[in-house]
């Protein structure tokens, strides 16, 4: 049987995230939340761990939009952003919910909040898979 070949940036991102989570011992379920974001429930059953991730995959490094400023959209625990997902070496940034605070967010375009690339691409967030061990 032929192997599944992703067709969009989002699909490439999903496959890449599932592979990276598996490398770190996590199983995952990915659900579409909106046209530009996915909700990921990742877990390690043996350790009784479960974490809810807000996931964005991007072809380049772009701002991430939060539609609801009060709740940052919904009750996620970690924000995962994979940039350059179509390149040979994608880069993943992981931010705990506490890392996404007002001084990192820009209020633009009618009330939506935006996390700009310079706010999430700090060295401390790059490939910070340890943030999942909540």
End-to-end CA distance of the chain: 38
C-beta of residue 128 within 8 angstroms of C-beta of residue 94: yes
Q: What is the pTM of this model?
A: 0.87
Residue 94: which of 106, 83, 107 has the closest Cα? 83
Strands (E), the chain: 27-34, 37-44, 49-57, 64-66, 78-83, 91-96, 105-108, 112-115
What's the rounded mean pLDDT across residues 97-126? Answer: 85
What pLDDT does residue 2 have?
A: 56
Backbone dihedral angles phi then psi of residue 129, each to the nearest 5 degrees: -65, -20
Q: Kindly state the percentage of the chain with pLDDT values over 90.
A: 48
Q: Does residue 6 carry a pLDDT above 90?
A: no
What's the rounded mean pLDDT across residues 85-113? Answer: 84
Q: What is the Cα–Cα distance from 132 to 123, expressed in whole angstroms? A: 17
């Amino acid at each position: 049987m032929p192997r599944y070949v992703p067709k969009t940036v989002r699909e490439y991102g999903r496959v890449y995230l599932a592979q990276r989570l598996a490398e770190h011992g996590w199983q995952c379920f990915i659900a579409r939340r909106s046209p530009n974001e996915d909700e990921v429930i990742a877990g390690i059953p043996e350790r009784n761990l479960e974490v809810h991730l807000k996931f964005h995959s991007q072809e380049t490094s772009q701002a991430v939009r939060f539609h609801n400023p009060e709740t940052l959209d919904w009750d996620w625990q970690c924000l995962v952003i994979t940039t350059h997902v179509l390149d040979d070496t994608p880069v993943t940034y992981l931010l705990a919910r506490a890392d996404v605070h007002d001084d990192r967010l820009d209020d633009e375009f009618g009330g939506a909040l935006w996390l700009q690339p310079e706010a999430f691409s700090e060295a401390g967030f790059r490939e910070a898979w340890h943030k999942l061990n909540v």
